[in-house]
Structure 1
Amino acid sequence: MASESNGFSAAAADRKIITCKAAVVWAPGEPFVIQKVQVEPPQKLEVRIKILFTSICHTDLSAWKGENELQRVYPRILGHEAAGVVESVGEGVEDLRSGDHVVPIFNGECGDCAHCRNPNTNLCARYRVDPFKSVMVADGGTRFSAVDGASGVRRPVYHFLNTSTFVEFTVLDAACVAKIPPAAPLERMCLLSCGISTGVGAVWNTAQVTSGSTVAVFGLGAVGLAVAEGARYRKASQIIGVDINPDKFVLGNQMGITDFVNPKDHDKSVHEVIRELTGGGVDYSFECAGNLDALREAFLSTHDGWGLTVMLGIHPTPRMLPFHPMELFDGRRLVASVFGDFKGKSQLPSFAEKCMHGNGEDKINLDGFISHELPFEDINKAFELLEQGKALRCMLHL
């Protein structure tokens, strides 16, 4: 890496443009191009961080394919699960400084708005997750630029989900950067940027699953397995995993799943199978597949009178919810959870502490989620592994 700024400096006069390596996607579905980009210094209430580790989520895969029309802005630097070190801070940033260990968070927290002051939501009025957003809040511009290989013209490169982590240095709004304990292993803390926090938080914060509860998890990707891990930690008595990929069942055992249901193995609907397994339905179900048919099955798999379904999957299609309003009068409830209802900046540090400590059943199994580790230059291979269902989380080392 060639850089015009060596080392970490918080002094405004020392902050310069950094030239570094990034994985740029120039059009939907095209291979990532490993190339040099220029990264501007942070402006007011912004932070520039050096990314050391980044992993790949299905949301990145969906954006790369251009499946969601809201995310079709190119060229772009994707990525939103990462960990790194603060390089410099912009004017007005008081809670972060050069050298701090941090993780980016796609769902920001300013700490001052009515939303942030309300304990019943983790959405921020200004910095919440926004799939439309591809520029910075301060001036509506981008902090990245690169030379188009075809034309030789320097072009702006756009941001993604408040984060953009497929790059050696990135600029974020300070509200989207969470400080973590310096002793925490950054390679593992990377997972807290999205998948683990989303799944575990949905169990702990959204559903508030208690000991002895019964749980069904629809979709055993990283988020679904994080749900299972959170339910195991909370000592759920029965955790049922639902997926059409039998390979997921082997790993699911390590995350506390007690029963498996492959829809392809049954002539009856999944919710009927689960009701038979549980004597009427589970207390909680979690839909992690982004599939409306799975969402309906998850809803109907809960016990009438008190069952709660938590929706975590991303649903990009224009199809509406598959329920008749009268079905809600049976006492079943449906809610959605963003980032596991964690307030990122204020609550993620304590979650990181929990992940660092504990033994056996009282420790979150972060290691189990990392299925592959590759150098950053192999990002296209990492996406191929995820698309083929062969990877849970592929950790890229920058």
Structure 2
Amino acid sequence: MGTDNKVIRCRAAVAWEPGKPLCVEEVEVAPPKAHEVRLKVEASGVCHTDWSYLYECGKGMKPRPYPLVLGHEGAGVVESVGPGVTAFSPGDKVIPLFLPQCGECECCLSPKTNLCLKNWENTQQGVLADGTSRISCRGQQIYQFIGVSTFSEYTVVPEHNVTKIRPDAPLDRVCLLGCGVATGYGAALNSGKVEAGSTCAVFGLGAVGLAAVMGCKAAGAARIIGIDINPEKSHVAKTLGATEFVNPREQSRPIQEVLVEMTGGGVDYAIECVGVTAVMRAALESCRAAWGTCVIVGWTELGEFSLAPIDILLGRTLKGTYFGGWQSVTGVPKLVEDYMSGRLQLDEFVTHTLDLEQINQAFDLLASGKSIRTVIKM
């Protein structure tokens, strides 16, 4: 593309410090090193996790190194590849992945998990395999959020953190499969293993929760109860498959008690998509004794919640999920195929489309509950 082995100057939304709005700056993106891929980001969803790491740093989230370029739900085109990369070529349409799939580590070789250990510790600290970032601004290293950083017009990711997709896929839609929709959808299908004819409750109807509703429907659940404190979520939840909607603020009793009564003993599956420990406990307690399964999806890194032993001893299952149980490199292209064939809904999730200069507006829309997903088009 004429930029091979050259530094690219472009725009990126930089978080100079936690708790402060992002600043759109000119940054320099270095060429990819061995086993890395440089991408031209075309679109990026704005995920609640991005907001949380910026505004809840030290509260619900562990501190990250700053300055930082957030964004992890993107799609784009390969600009160039580093030495040793054979699976990608310039011009390929791709989705970068915060969860790698190297195919070689202990986790990748096990059928029991979708986790991958490749470069895990480094990417969690905002750097790539050599311990440095490829993005800089004003002569200073800018850390890459979980090794990705899609709030930049160009970024560099490890070769195991990117997957090739079909060339006709609309990038401003399939970018959502890099995190939110894939996570919620897979939480129901892969992690929860929701069964046909079952009764489900989904706590939290943001993009992840709505995708979980869609996953419950795809699994054939007979009853899907969507739960959210925002009454405006009722309509879209029912569009995606919810059969009922409950607002906890309109109830005189704890939501778990309401659900147990509504269902004559509890739900078969509860999927928690809020990331609040009190909600996690409520989700578990809403499950039917003997076989109810609670899947924790909502991301939080701090805090804890206690359980009464009887909540587990009678047969309930409590489990977590990461990226919905999908093996990232092989799983995401299949989800793209499902969208392109009409088996998976994505359009309904995109409520706003903005440009990079409006990134803080996108965060405001998210925090106020006025958007499901805002897509930033570069």
Matched, 1:387 2:377: no
Match for residue 355 of structure 2? 375
In 2, the alpha carbon distance for the partners of 1:278 and 1:313 equals: 24
In 2, the alpha carbon distance for the partners of 1:309 and 1:33 equals: 39
Matched, 1:200 2:192: no
Q: Of residues 145, 148, 156 in structure 2, which corresponds to 1:163? A: 148
Matched, 1:103 2:95: yes
Q: Of residues 275, 278, 286 in structure 2, which corresponds to 1:293? A: 278
Matched, 1:366 2:356: no
Match for residue 23 of structure 1? 13
Change in 2 beyond 3 A, CA 1:346/1:127? farther
**Within 5 A, what are the aligned runs for 1:345-360?**
345-358=329-342
Aligned residues of 2:74 and 2:175 also touching (Cα < 8 A): yes
Aligned residues of 1:106 and 1:129 also touching (Cα < 8 A): no
Q: Which runs of 5+ in 2 are unaligned?
A: none
AA at the equivalent of 2:307:
F
In 2, the alpha carbon distance for the partners of 1:94 and 1:76 equals: 29
In 1, the alpha carbon distance for the partners of 2:364 and 2:85 equals: 39
Aligned residues of 2:278 and 2:305 also touching (Cα < 8 A): no
Match for residue 55 of structure 1? 45
In 2, the alpha carbon distance for the partners of 1:249 and 1:8 equals: 50
**What value does the CA root-mean-square deviation take over the aligned residues?**
1.5
Query: What's the secondary structure of 2:9's corresponding residue?
Result: strand
Q: Which runs of 5+ in 1 are unaligned?
A: 1-6, 148-153
Deviations 1:365-398 (A, max 9, x none): 2111001011121111111111111111001110
How many residues matched?
A: 376
Query: What's the secondary structure of 2:69's corresponding residue?
Result: coil
Match for residue 128 of structure 2? 136
Q: Show structure 1 runs of 4+ deviating over 6 A.
A: none
In 1, the alpha carbon distance for the partners of 2:119 and 2:294 equals: 27
Matched, 1:230 2:215: yes
Match for residue 72 of structure 1? 64
Deviations 1:311-359 (A, max 9, x none): 00112333x232023421111010000000100001211121112113x
Change in 2 beyond 3 A, CA 1:373/1:238? same
In 2, the alpha carbon distance for the partners of 1:295 and 1:30 equals: 29
In 1, the alpha carbon distance for the partners of 2:238 and 2:163 equals: 31
AA at the equivalent of 1:275:
V
In 2, the alpha carbon distance for the partners of 1:248 and 1:208 equals: 25
Identity across aligned pairs (percent)? 43
Matched, 1:181 2:166: yes
Aligned residues of 1:86 and 1:100 also touching (Cα < 8 A): yes
Aligned residues of 2:45 and 2:175 also touching (Cα < 8 A): yes
In 2, the alpha carbon distance for the partners of 1:385 and 1:156 equals: 30
Please state how far the C-alpha of 1:72 moved relative to its aligned partner.
Answer: 3.0
What TM-score comes out, normalization by structure 1 length?
0.91
Match for residue 212 of structure 1? 197
AA at the equivalent of 1:353:
E
In 2, the alpha carbon distance for the partners of 1:210 and 1:305 equals: 16
Aligned residues of 2:64 and 2:125 also touching (Cα < 8 A): no
In 1, the alpha carbon distance for the partners of 2:119 and 2:11 equals: 27
Q: Of residues 304, 319, 322 in structure 2, which corresponds to 1:338? A: 322
In 2, the alpha carbon distance for the partners of 1:385 and 1:396 equals: 13
Change in 2 beyond 3 A, CA 1:310/1:128? farther
> Which region of structure 1 is more displaced relative to structure 2, 328-337 or 309-318?
309-318
In 2, the alpha carbon distance for the partners of 1:54 and 1:182 equals: 17
Match for residue 242 of structure 1? 227
Match for residue 310 of structure 1? 295
Match for residue 323 of structure 1? 307
Change in 2 beyond 3 A, CA 1:285/1:131? farther
Change in 2 beyond 3 A, CA 1:280/1:326? closer
Aligned residues of 1:115 and 1:122 also touching (Cα < 8 A): yes
In 2, the alpha carbon distance for the partners of 1:134 and 1:391 equals: 28
In 1, the alpha carbon distance for the partners of 2:122 and 2:311 equals: 31
Query: What's the secondary structure of 2:144's corresponding residue?
Result: coil
In 1, the alpha carbon distance for the partners of 2:162 and 2:365 equals: 28
In 2, the alpha carbon distance for the partners of 1:259 and 1:141 equals: 49
Aligned residues of 2:14 and 2:67 also touching (Cα < 8 A): yes
AA at the equivalent of 2:335:
F
Change in 2 beyond 3 A, CA 1:163/1:8? farther
